[in-house]
Structure 1
Amino acid sequence: MTPKTSAFSTVFQPGRVAVITGAAGGIGRATAEFCATRGMKLVLADFNESALLAAADAITAQHGTEIVAVPTDVSQRAAVERLCNSAYERFGEVDFLMNNAGRSGDGGLFGDPAMWDAILGVNLWGVIHGVQAFAPRMMAAGKPTIIVNTGSKQGITQPPGNTAYNLSKAGVKAVTEALAHELRSSAGCQVQAHLLVPGFTFTGMTRAPTDAKPAGAWTPDEVVAFMAERMEAGDFYIMCPDNDVTRDLDNARMLWSAMDVTENRPPLSRWHPDYAEAFKAFLAARGL
């Protein structure tokens, strides 16, 4: 087995360049703050122009960071290409790319087609556009760089309900796995890919009506600290726990979901009443 390697210590250095989408709030904003504390130059993108500019101003005021803010609709290929060109024209390189922009919405199986288009456009096509626009130039640079795509546990276990969101994040997983394979199969390539899989995180997409953080949720800063730790360790799958769900429980849920196929059970059997006791026994056998 090949030992894990990490470009983390090389990439997160003063003067290196980070591009982050969905940077106006949540995990994207927290990642921008983290990069700023490391002395990196930032290219920040978000669909919400006023929130993006406010975030850029606040980070600059606190850290003195050199920032380019580029309002961007990542669902549009041309917009992401403009973002890429802006980064290279200003700084001449991109060392860390985080395709993080995301959106939620009522994407039930028979829901509004326009909502499906919006969710898939941002969550899945936004990542594809980011990878296709940036990765070839990062690969050609011939130096250690990192790409992180933000997925979701819902893209792995597929809980009933928001099918459009599940599909979008399942697609992000597939794209990022394919990216990692392409990178390691390209001679001389020093770009590394990671799939960030947050747990329950208190962000703009998950806020309760009271704006009070649920006890079970992590903050975006906690997610980013964990992401940094696992990138440094060389993990591809950055599976974040939270205050309610441990990594062991996540692993068991994902294994059960995969075994729906291998055991020829009904799909989504974790939520099937006939399999409720079997799932409880499955967890109990693992001390959960």
Structure 2
Amino acid sequence: MNADTAAENTADHAADAPGARTAVVTGAASPRGIGRATALLLAEQGWNIGLLDIAPCDTLAAEIVAAYNVKAFSVTADVSDEPAVRTAIDHLESALPPLAALANIAGVSSPVPYLELTSDEWHRVINTNLNGVHYVTRRVAESMVRHNYGRIVSISSTSAQRGGGTYSKTPYSVAKAGVIGLTRALARELGPHNITVNAIAPGPIATEIMGGPLTPERRTALTADLVVNRIGEPHDVASAIAFLLSDDSSYITGHTLNIDGGLYMH
């Protein structure tokens, strides 16, 4: 068996062996969030789930195990703290089958106008929404490279493409634009290791990051900018993440997929 065949077999094993793959999902603690919806959908599809959030996700992990007969393990860490991230993922890796997929969903919003923006607020948003994606991806990619297989999806935003215009403002848009750049660069660097790297840019989604529950009046105002006649739900984004983590997406990398009801057409 030559080296190329061995590498292909390793990748196939990581991707296809029943019960032998784990997806790491960050930011799954919110009961109405994209992270939780993604973790549940992936578990339904047979993925073992590693949960990483600044808030405990033990209850969600137990729910996943009970409902889907897969393994799940939860660790607590702030994604903007690189040493804590590395330690947390070490724990996930020791508790679960090989890490084959990563969904970078953890993030914070920032509605502060630019001329009122403080240095602390700027760094808070950049450290979580951009540096945090890098810290988690860097550690998980190390494991993926060893197995010669991986799928990475990170959440950007239409705010990165439109310069805001939803709920959050400048530092959020900057960080999410950085996620797109990071995605493209990593797609090039990690491609030789059979790892795909993509981003998703949601439009308005009914989650807490939009500033809390959407009132009927706010839903109407947001929907007016869309081609479809409704605001997105967490499952809309979770379904796209699940596709980009699947074997069906193996020829897609470096791409930013808009899940935005037609808000931004490009």
Give the alignment partner of residue 257 of structure 2, picking from 239, 250, 254: 239
Instruction: Give the conservation status (yes or no) of the 8 Å contact 1:13–1:40.
Output: no
1:214-229 to 2 correspondence within 5 Å? 214=219, 216-229=230-243
Give the alignment partner of residue 55 of structure 1, picking from 56, 60, 71: 60
Distance across 2 between alignment mates of 1:116 and 1:241: 26
Give the alignment partner of residue 145 of structure 2, picking from 132, 139, 143: 139
Give the alignment partner of residue 33 of structure 1, picking from 40, 44, 49: 40
Q: Which consecutive unaligned segments of at least 5 residues does structure 2 have?
A: 1-10, 220-228
Give the alignment partner of residue 197 of structure 2, picking from 193, 196, 199: 193
Shift of 1:195: 0.9
Distance across 2 between alignment mates of 1:97 and 1:22: 12
Shift of 1:213: 9.2
* Structure 2 counterpart SS, 1:205: helix
Shift of 1:38: 1.7
Distance across 2 between alignment mates of 1:209 and 1:250: 21
* Structure 2 counterpart SS, 1:251: coil
Which protein is bigger by CA-based radius of gyration?
1
Higher relative contact order (Cα pairs below 8 Å, separated by 6+ residues): 2
Counterpart of 1:168, as a letter, is A
1:18-167 to 2 correspondence within 5 Å? 18-25=23-30, 26-49=33-56, 52-91=57-96, 93-110=98-115, 111-142=117-148, 144-159=149-164, 162-167=169-174
TM-score, scaled to structure 1 = 0.73
Distance across 2 between alignment mates of 1:48 and 1:174: 28
Q: Which residue of 2 aligns with 1:262?
A: none
Instruction: Give the conservation status (yes or no) of the 8 Å contact 2:180–2:256.
Output: no
Instruction: Give the conservation status (yes or no) of the 8 Å contact 2:72–2:96.
Output: no
* Structure 2 counterpart SS, 1:250: coil
Counterpart of 1:95, as a letter, is A
Instruction: Give the conservation status (yes or no) of the 8 Å contact 1:11–1:96.
Output: no
Shift of 1:129: 0.4
Instruction: Give the conservation status (yes or no) of the 8 Å contact 1:12–1:35.
Output: no
Instruction: Give the conservation status (yes or no) of the 8 Å contact 1:223–1:240.
Output: no
Number of residues of Structure 1 aligned to a counterpart in Structure 2: 236
Shift of 1:55: 2.2
Give the fraction of aligned pairs with identical amino acids, expressed as a percent: 28
Residues 8, 176 of structure 1: CA spacing in aligned structure 2 closer, same or farther, 3 A cutoff?
farther
* Structure 2 counterpart SS, 1:181: helix
1:2-13 to 2 correspondence within 5 Å? 11=15
Q: CA RMSD in A?
A: 2.7
Distance across 1 between alignment mates of 2:155 and 2:76: 19
Q: Which residue of 2 aligns with 1:284?
A: none
Residues 120, 149 of structure 1: CA spacing in aligned structure 2 closer, same or farther, 3 A cutoff?
same
Residues 39, 48 of structure 1: CA spacing in aligned structure 2 closer, same or farther, 3 A cutoff?
same
Counterpart of 1:250, as a letter, is Y
Counterpart of 1:11, as a letter, is A
Distance across 1 between alignment mates of 2:164 and 2:68: 41
